[in-house]
Amino acid sequence: MAENEYVPLFETRQVKGPILFRCIAASILLGICLIVMYRIRYFSIGGKAERWTWIGLFLSELWFSFYWLLTTVCRWNAVIRIPFIHRLSQRFGKELPGIDIFVCTADPLLEPPSMVVNTVLSMMAYDYPPEKLSVYLSDDGGSNLTFYAMLEAANFSKTWLPFCKKFKVEPMSPEAYFRTASEPLNVEEWPSVKILIDGRDTNAVDIEGNPLPTLVYLAREKRPQYHHHFKAGAMNALIRISSRISNAPIILNVDCDMYSNNSESIKYSLCIFMDEEKGDEFGYVQFPQNFDNLTKNDIYGCSFRVIQKLEVKGLDANGGPCFIGTGCFHRREALCGKKYEKNFRFDLKKLNNTKVNERASLLEEICKVLASCTFEHNTTWGKEMGLIYGFPVEDIVTGLSVQCRGWKSVFLDPERDGFFGVAPITLLQLLVQHKRWTEGHLQVFLSKYCPLLYGYKKIPLKLRLAYCAYNLWAANCLATLYYVVVPCLCLLKGIKLFPKISSPWVLPFAYVAFSHHAYSLGELLWCGGTFLGWCNDQRMWLFKRTTSYLIASLETILKLLGYSQLAFVITTKVADEDVSKRYDQEMIEFGVASPMFNILATLAILNLLGSFGTMKKVTMHADKGFKVLDQFGLQILLCLVLVTMNLPVYQALFFRMDKGKMPSSVTYKSIIFALLACTLSVY
């Protein structure tokens, strides 16, 4: 090999199995076309109710078809990236760039300090030169507990880091240490910015004499008359103060519950950024969001297995994945608003040579100004610089704006997971989390940042469509609700909505439903899931579409009309012992009254009543039983499938006696609502 011959630091490969996926997708598309033909050819010409229910179902099917086509196009081409970290070490040795790591927390009750410190220590323990590593914690709660925990972490890191390096510990999160209580240090009234470990100080060493990474604590200033912009505001404050203290060209941001599980994640990302031929094109490198507390069958469908193994890799082939808010390595210039220039070369080694000579105490005073609530007034922060303000999903819109400035992004999924976080362990936590995500996505779609318009001539069409697939989560609620409610009520009234079982037109309906779900099951099994996990995933898909998506749509409309303000809901990371025990036993946790549970219970009882009503017709009129089954077979099957998916709801409503059961108030309300709907439908 010639001395100057280019050897890439990463390789791009096509995901296996594209031909099978495309063949099945093409056959499903053919089936959809036949369904459309059936709906048009056999348009109901009966009474007014028959016509409108037929039209509504046809529109729902058109929406499902459009959304399926949207997601299919995005997955048509999918790639994986293979980094070569041994080449990185051979080529650059100790001339690696500095890395600034941002960790954000907001509430010590919902995000326990012990968990936050676990994350911070795992970030400090990377297999990377410690003098080039700086970890920043933003504590928007300004909590004494969190600050004391950080002081303990700074002290404990002197022992923990050499232990990790000596024994190659992975993951690097010392949970066992924090099972025992420790007395807080005698500290009163600390400043908003505190350099707990100054990596420039020759005395900042561990018990073996090795240098320690820089560790900085931030509790930014907040005042009622100034909007603090939640996590986006915290991130922007960290960008400013880190630029004054360490100014590393690469920034890693993680949520406070997401600890490092792979000591070489930094090197994996640098294989992308430091590649001589293509590295300058990339603005950020996104790692998957994985969880270490999932049950065997993933009771709440939180694993994102198929999304991360297949869908996101489809985005990677068309301009890059979206920024998901955690586990992401950013190029500082890209995050700060710089546009990509094709012929401009970034020397990450030179960018890191800036030396800061001020004392730590002086830097703290300077950084207080940068973290003040008035600093951003009349500036471009939150608009053109840093994370974008005004959306519950500031990460998505920020990643989009970075890509629209010409940068590409990469999705890295190494064999050993890079990060682990905490998944919701109650159903309400899951639904509230998805409501916030869905609401944020819909707000992006309805704003000037709509990917179709904002990304026009800036990013590829497939990437814009991929963003829309997420932005339009909320729009699925109406079609799903229609399919859940109307066929059931039409059964009671005797309105036929699907072809007879004896008709050949039943074949496209059966094929599309079977092939789509069979292929999705195959994908989940291929990605490491289980059959029961797939069933749980389908159940949560139904629950989210009929509750989270619906309420997110309503709240977005209210916000556009000026009746609602932007709010940021923190998902709790703690639960009592009983809740955790039921979660480990894979029992869905209800336990509290909620409008979302009212909806779920009402829909479940409605389909149960519809099934009972139909079974009564079949059994009591034996001479007409086969005719009823032939005429309403698909509707009956749909009802029975929905009843099966809602079995945990029936258990919580009528049979469970533990604290995780459905509250009595929800049970009474849902029965009344369902009976009322059934009564009205027959008139």
- Taking the C-alpha atoms of residue 301 and residue 312, their distance in angstroms, rounded to an integer, is 17
Tell me the H-state helices in 5-125: 18-41, 48-74, 85-92, 113-124
- In what helix (H) or strand (E) does residue 243 lie, and over which residues does it extend? helix 230-245
- Taking the C-alpha atoms of residue 642 and residue 484, their distance in angstroms, rounded to an integer, is 8
Active-site position among 298, 395, 413, 417: 395
Burial class (CB in 10 A: 0-12, 13-18, 19+), 277: exposed
Burial class (CB in 10 A: 0-12, 13-18, 19+), 381: buried
Tell me if residue 630 is catalytic: no
Copy the structure tokens of residue 682: 């027959």
231 known ligand binder:
yes
Does residue 174 have a cis peptide bond before it, meaning omega lies within 30 degrees of 0? no
- Taking the C-alpha atoms of residue 596 and residue 579, their distance in angstroms, rounded to an integer, is 19
Active-site position among 139, 140, 280, 537: 140
Asked if 123 and 254 touch (Cβ cutoff 8 Å), the reply is yes
DSSP letter (8 states) at residue 655: I
DSSP letter (8 states) at residue 176: G
255 known ligand binder:
yes
Tell me if residue 395 is catalytic: yes
Query: Taken in order 580, 304, 547, 638, is the CA torsion positive or negative?
Result: negative
Q: What's the angle, vertex CA 172, arms to CA 231 and CA 92, rounded to 5?
A: 90
- Taking the C-alpha atoms of residue 412 and residue 281, their distance in angstroms, rounded to an integer, is 16
198 known ligand binder:
no
- Taking the C-alpha atoms of residue 25 and residue 75, their distance in angstroms, rounded to an integer, is 10
Backbone angles phi, psi at 410, to 5 degrees: -135, 145
Q: What's the angle, vertex CA 147, arms to CA 237 and CA 417, rounded to 5?
A: 70
Q: Which of 183, 181, 162, 164 is nearest to 173 (CA)?
A: 164
Q: Which of 406, 380, 409 is nearest to 395 (CA)?
A: 409
DSSP state letters, 448-491 = TT-HHHHTTTTS-HHHHHHHHHHHTTTTHHHHHHHHHHHHHHHH
- Taking the C-alpha atoms of residue 554 and residue 545, their distance in angstroms, rounded to an integer, is 13
Q: Which of 184, 174, 236 is nearest to 372 (CA)?
A: 236
365 known ligand binder:
no
Q: 3-state DSSP call for residue 44? A: coil
- Taking the C-alpha atoms of residue 80 and residue 63, their distance in angstroms, rounded to an integer, is 31
Q: Which of 526, 18, 8, 7 is nearest to 317 (CA)?
A: 18
Q: Which residue has the tokens 């604590």?
A: 217
Which residues fall within 8 angstroms of residue 378, CB to CB, at 6 or more apart?
none
- Taking the C-alpha atoms of residue 521 and residue 526, their distance in angstroms, rounded to an integer, is 9
- Taking the C-alpha atoms of residue 559 and residue 565, their distance in angstroms, rounded to an integer, is 6
Q: Which of 65, 60, 4 is nearest to 29 (CA)?
A: 65
Q: Which residue has the tokens 């890079």?
A: 418
User: Could you tell me the end-to-end alpha-carbon distance of the chain, in angstroms, rounded to an integer?
Assistant: 83
- Taking the C-alpha atoms of residue 509 and residue 329, their distance in angstroms, rounded to an integer, is 45
Q: 3-state DSSP call for residue 297? A: coil
Active site residues per annotation: 140, 395
- Known binding residues for UDP-alpha-D-glucose are 111, 140
- Known binding residues are 111, 140, 231, 255
- Known binding residues for Mn(2+) are 231, 255
